[in-house]
Amino acid sequence: MEIQKNYRKVPIRECGESLVPIPRDQFVFFDPAPYVALGASYGKASPWMLRTGVLAALQKAQDWLHRQRPGWRIMLFDAYRPNEVQIFMVEREFGFKAREAGLDPSALTPEQREKLAEKVFRYWAIPSDDPATPPPHSTGAALDITLADEQGGEVDMGSPIDEGAPPATPDYFAGATDEAGRRAHEHRLLLRQALRYGGFRQHPGEWWHFSYGDQMWALAERQERGGAEIPAIYGRADLV
C-alpha cells in the first residue's frame, strides 16, 4: 500500500477538461466491457471515456506504435471508472480474499477487514469521495490496456490484466530465458515505450496500468525530476 500513501498526497490543480468518448474506430476494445460484464453499474457514464488531453496523448502513443508495428493497435480493457464502480470492484475483491482465508465476507470483523485490506489495496486503488484523493480511474486520466496484433487479437503479455500476483509487475519477465518469457517482456517493453512517447507513466506494480496527469503520474514525474513540485492536473471527473 506504500504507493497509495505516496501518490494520494500529491496536490491537484484541476484543469477542467471534459470527459469525452474514446473513438471506437481508432482502438481495439474488450467487448463487453469487463466490469460491466461483472455487474458494475456506470449509470450515465461509460468505461470508454477519457479527458480530452489524455485521449490526445493516447492517440500520440498509438501513432508511435503504428510506426513500430504496422497494423498493431492499443487494446483497452478499462478507462473511466466512477467511484461507485471502484467500490463495487473493491468489495468484490474483499469477498475473494475473505473466502481464500476461510472467512465469511458478510461477517468480517473490523480487524479481519483491516488485515485483508493489505492484500486488496496492493492492487486496487482505495475508493474515495474526497476530491483530494480520487481513485486514478475516477479522474478520467488512467487506463488499463494491452496490445492487439494485425488481426485484432490480444498479444501475449505473460499474465492477464488484473491478475493480483507477482507476474503483474512490469519487469517480471526481464530476466526470462525461455522464449515465452522473452516474448512477453518484449511486448511489455513495446507497450511501455508507446505510452511513454505519449507522455504516460506506468503503475510500478501493474504492467497494464498507465496514467497521464493524475496524482500517480505527477508523483512519477516528481521522482524523475528530482523532487520538483509537479501537481496533478486531473482530479475526480464527474458527468454533469
Per residue in 115-164, pLDDT (tens digit) is 999 999 988 999 999 999 999 999 999 999 999 999 999 999 999 999 98
Which parts of the chain are beta strand (E)? Answer: 19-21, 28-29, 49-51, 73-78, 142-148, 201-202, 209-211
Buried b (16+ CB within 10 A) or exposed e, 6-22: ebbebebeeeebebeeb
SS3 content of the chain, % helix, strand, coil (to 5): 40, 10, 50
Cβ contacts of residue 199 below 8 Å, gap of 6+?
57, 60, 212
Domain ranges of the chain: 2-82+138-224
Give the C-alpha separation, 108 to 157, whole Å.
Answer: 36
The CATH label, of 1.10.287, 3.40.50, 1.10.3910, 3.30.1380, for the domain at 2-82+138-224 is 3.30.1380
pLDDT tens digit string along 208-240?
A: 999 999 999 999 999 998 878 999 999 999 875
The residue annotated as part of the active site, out of 186, 206, 224, 229, is 206
Give the C-alpha separation, 4 to 23, whole Å.
Answer: 31
- Tell me whether residue 229 is one of the annotated catalytic residues: no
pLDDT tens digit string along 45-56?
A: 999 999 999 999
